[in-house]
Amino acid sequence: MRNLFLLSTLLILHQLAQAGSKFTPINYNPPDSVKAVQIFIEVKVIGVNGDKKYYTGIQTDVVKLFLQTDKQEKKIVFKYPKSASVISTGKEVDISKRGEISCKYNWKLNESYKLLISLATDSIDNFSLYSGYVWLPQENKWKHIGTSKITGRWNTIQQPGIINIAKRKGGLAIDISSAWCQRQNGSWKNLKEDNQPAPVINLMSHIDSVSQRQTDIKIINDAIASGKTDATNNEQGVYYSIIKEGTGRQVLLTDTVTVFYKGYLFSDNSIFDQTKDKPISFPLNRLIKGWQIGIPLSKVGGKIKLVIPSDIAYSIRTRSAKIPPNSILVFEIEVVDAKQLAH
pLDDT higher than 90, residue 278 = yes
Among residues 164, 160, 150, 163, the alpha carbon closest in space to that of 188 is found at: 160
- For the chain, give every domain's residue range: 2-190, 209-340
pLDDT higher than 60, residue 174 = yes
- For 171-180, 204-213, 236-245, 298-307, which range has the lowest pLDDT when averaged over its residues? 171-180
Specify the pLDDT at position 123.
84
pLDDT higher than 70, residue 124 = yes
Among residues 51, 21, 132, 23, the alpha carbon closest in space to that of 86 is found at: 132
**How many alpha carbons lie under 13 Å from residue 39 in its C-beta half-sphere?**
27
Helices (H), the chain: 2-19, 209-225, 289-294
Q: What is the pLDDT of residues 19-64, one digit of tens each?
A: 344 444 566 666 666 788 999 999 998 888 776 778 899 999 899 9
- For 23-37, 277-291, 319-333, which range has the lowest pLDDT when averaged over its residues? 23-37
- If you average pLDDT over residues 156-174, what whole number do you get? 73
Specify the pLDDT at position 256.
96
Decide whether 2-190 matches 209-340 in CATH topology.
no
Alpha-carbon dihedral 43, 175, 57, 104, rounded to 10 degrees: 60
Q: Name the more confident of 54 and 110.
A: 110
Looking at the domain 2-190, which fold is it? Answer: Jelly Rolls (2.60.120)
pLDDT higher than 70, residue 102 = yes
- If you average pLDDT over residues 140-147, what whole number do you get? 96
- For 11-20, 103-112, 256-265, 311-320, which range has the lowest pLDDT when averaged over its residues? 11-20
Above pLDDT 90, what percent of the chain?
65
Q: What is the pLDDT of residues 292-325, one digit of tens each?
A: 999 999 999 999 999 999 999 999 998 889 999 9
Beta strands in the chain (DSSP E): 26-27, 36-49, 54-59, 64-69, 74-79, 85-89, 100-104, 112-122, 127-136, 141-151, 161-166, 171-183, 188-190, 232-233, 239-244, 255-265, 271-274, 280-283, 303-308, 329-340
Q: What is the pLDDT of residues 74-101, one digit of tens each?
A: 999 999 999 999 999 999 999 999 999 9
- The Cα 205–Cα 214 span in angstroms is 16
User: pTM of the prediction?
Assistant: 0.86
The CATH code for residues 209-340 is: 3.10.50.40
Question: What's the burial of 48, exposed, middle or buried (CB within 10 Å: 0-12/13-18/19+)?
Answer: middle
Specify the pLDDT at position 192.
80
Question: What's the burial of 242, exposed, middle or buried (CB within 10 Å: 0-12/13-18/19+)?
Answer: middle
- The Cα 179–Cα 57 span in angstroms is 11
